[in-house]
Amino acid sequence: MIVGILKEIKIEENRVCMTPAGVEVMRGRGHEVLVETDAGVGSGFGNDAYLDAGAEIVASAEEIYARADMVMHVKEPQPSEYPLIRTGQIVFTYFHFAASEQLTRAFMETGAVAVAYETIVGKDNSLPLLTPMSEVAGRMAAQQAAKYVERAQGGRGILLGGVPGVQPATVLVIGGGVVGTHAAQMACGLGAKVYLLDTSLERLRHLSEVMPKNCFPMMSSPAVIRELAREADVVIGAVLVHGAKAPKLITREMLATMKRGAVLVDVAIDQGGCFETSRPTTHTEPTFVVDGVLHYCVANMPGAVPLTSTVALTNATLPYAVEIADKGWHQAARDNDGIRAGLNIVAGQVVYQGVAEAFGIDC
């Protein structure tokens, strides 16, 4: 198969969908790999590294779309690319179709095959191509919180871990899934006192077994959040309710009771945010202040650390890309339920129920 690696053109996106190491694996399986020129530069991979791995460097996205059997991206194709996508071509990337009727209808018209990273399912029913980005965002949340509680950044002027003889900061993490666990681990590692809240008792049992001694897993409820928000120097929002907008867990009223200069990091902002006062921000202007409390609400946190994010993402996508390239999408979907779950649109038909339901399209 001819596999095309496109350069990301969405604003603030520096990741690339395959590393040179991935290209070498693809070449080893006998596939041809076309890489758009400078596709890896934002992630620290120059054209030479791809050439050394056996790729052909191609001048334009037009040529990649014209020649490749399967094209890969990180983000969804942008409107300028819609006319380039060919009937029968496989497009393997994050699509998030349910968030855009325009993209869904445009893709249906191409007659191509959309395999969406975000709906591929692992053997344990996990979402293996979403997990690495949650790991990155979770770890980054603690790092950003540590930075923004510093005085010069507008925070209270506090060191998360304290020092001998001085109290550490109190960090409240709401949501004990992938993001929350990674955020809590990092905050614990820095020496903070960490409360980690979840609504699942089973999850809390697991967390109390595996988390360090300075992490206190607790059942999430409005009363507990109200009490701990008053004490917290940092609150990290990391909840997810599948198929729904994030619930507003810190209300405007609670905000008024928080310490001035405390920091809220709303990782769930991509699902609407879990604090009433959150609104999406960008890496260029990541924070704003409401009632003296700093809000960090960047919707694409992994975009700030493309070198880490690219490798984390491609570690997860490569095995699926190789299987699709080896077998073709049809056979790969037959053999692998996870890949079948990744099929969203095939030859003009929406085949993923969530997307069909979002826009009242027959599935």
Active-site residue set: 96, 270
Strands 293-296 and 263-266, how do they pair? parallel
Token pair listed for 171 = 């960090």
What distance in Å separates the CA atoms of residue 216 and residue 297, rounded to the nearest whole number?
Answer: 25
Whether residue 239 contacts residue 274, with contact meaning beta carbons closer than 8 Å, is answered with yes
Residue 247 binds ligand NAD (CB under 6 A): yes
Q: From 13-21, 88-96, 191-199, 287-295, give the range in contact with ligand NAD by CB under 6 A.
A: 191-199
What distance in Å separates the CA atoms of residue 130 and residue 313, rounded to the nearest whole number?
Answer: 8
Provide the mask over 215-234, with x wherever binding to ligand NAD is found by CB under 6 A and - wherever it is not: -----x--------------
Q: From 79-87, 92-100, 269-277, 304-312, give the range in contact with ligand NAD by CB under 6 A.
A: 269-277
Q: Which is nearer to ligand NAD, 5 or 268 (CB)?
A: 268
Q: Which is nearer to ligand NAD, 132 or 261 (CB)?
A: 132
Residue from the set 14, 89, 134, 314 that interacts with ligand NAD by CB under 6 A: 134
Q: Which is nearer to ligand NAD, 50 or 94 (CB)?
A: 94
For residue 240, which of 263, 220, 258 has the smallest C-alpha distance? 220
Residue 240 binds ligand NAD (CB under 6 A): yes
Residue 264 binds ligand NAD (CB under 6 A): no
One-letter amino acid at 180 equals G
Size of the site for ligand NAD (CB under 6 A): 32
Minimum distance of ligand NAD from residue 358's CB (angstroms): 16
The 10 Å Cβ neighbour count of residue 80 is: 9
Residue from the set 137, 192, 263, 355 that interacts with ligand NAD by CB under 6 A: 137
Residue 270 binds ligand NAD (CB under 6 A): yes
Tokens 């053999």 belong to residue: 335
Residue from the set 18, 33, 61, 269 that interacts with ligand NAD by CB under 6 A: 269
Whether residue 6 contacts residue 68, with contact meaning beta carbons closer than 8 Å, is answered with no
Minimum distance of ligand NAD from residue 273's CB (angstroms): 9
Minimum distance of ligand NAD from residue 6's CB (angstroms): 21
Whether residue 154 contacts residue 287, with contact meaning beta carbons closer than 8 Å, is answered with yes
The DSSP symbol for 76 reads P
Residue 173 binds ligand NAD (CB under 6 A): no
Residue 177 binds ligand NAD (CB under 6 A): yes
Q: Is 172 helix (H, G, I), strand (E, B) or coil?
A: strand
Handedness of CA 39, 41, 43, 44 (dihedral sign): positive
Q: From 49-57, 149-157, 170-178, 251-259, give the range in contact with ligand NAD by CB under 6 A.
A: 170-178
Q: From 16-24, 28-36, 265-273, 325-333, give the range in contact with ligand NAD by CB under 6 A.
A: 265-273
What distance in Å separates the CA atoms of residue 352 and residue 344, rounded to the nearest whole number?
Answer: 5
Minimum distance of ligand NAD from residue 251's CB (angstroms): 13
Strands (E), the chain: 2-5, 32-36, 56-58, 70-72, 90-93, 113-116, 170-174, 193-198, 215-219, 234-237, 263-266, 287-290, 293-296, 343-346, 349-350
CA of residue 90 relative to chain centroid, distance: 22
Q: Which is nearer to ligand NAD, 90 or 141 (CB)?
A: 141
Q: Which residues bind ligand NAD (CB under 6 A)?
A: 133-134, 137, 174-180, 197-200, 203, 220, 238-241, 246-247, 249, 267-271, 299-302
